[in-house]
Chains A and B, each alone.
Chain A
């Protein structure tokens, strides 16, 4: 089976840096994605890592360590609008390709 773990809540101050961790357990791991979801909104894609290392996209970076079954999303220069839920999602190959979402981390950005 597959499982993902991420913290349920994180609080940070505007302008700061925050890291949201995700550990996973899956039999046919292929890659790790991150999605952002504002209250009442739809999840939107942020990043995808298939190889070890850091991927940077503006203020957001995502890291993957396949040997540790671990990844994180790094948000820099936090803004109030970054307050949202962040989901890690594993791309798994079990027959065909499947995507399994974690339970999400609620990020609160304070002024």
Chain B
């Protein structure tokens, strides 16, 4: 079974530029998550999709971050414009039940390491 795919793996941009990340979850997984992980910290949930609907984006800085999940499968996360504090690893994860189920084993992709200069 293929895992969660993410691209690019690394990205270096200057502040005020824009950047986009792509995620392809495990086939059949209804729930897709985007996390931000700053060095030395735990993953912080940015947005959670159930199929192609948003169920939680309470911690997404909506003035600069946006995300969409096309047709309930792939997802893109965009930052525009980027700030220095956005330097982090952006992790995508997927799970079978997510929002609707009591158990929620999340499968993570390799992440995108973003450096904002």
Contacts and interface: CB of A to CB of B under 8 A. Distances in A.
B84 to A, nearest CB: 21
Contact of A98 (B42, B56, B111): B56
Interface of B: 35, 40-45, 48, 50, 55-56, 91, 93, 97-111
Contacts of B108: 42-44
Q: Classify the interface of chain A: helix, strand, loop or mixed.
A: strand
B36 to A, nearest CB: 11
A87 B42 contact: yes
A97 B110 contact: no
Nearest to B44: A101
In the complex, the 10 A-B pairs of residues with the closest C-beta atoms, listed nearest first: A42-B108, A101-B42, A96-B99, A103-B42, A104-B42, A101-B43, A45-B105, A43-B108, A87-B42, A102-B42
A39 to B, nearest CB: 10
20 contacts: A30-B102, A33-B104, A42-B110, A43-B93, A43-B106, A48-B103, A48-B105, A50-B103, A91-B103, A91-B104, A96-B56, A96-B99, A96-B100, A97-B98, A97-B99, A98-B45, A99-B45, A99-B106, A101-B42, A101-B43
A91 to B, nearest CB: 6
Interface of A: 30-31, 33, 35, 41-45, 48, 50, 87, 91, 93, 96-104
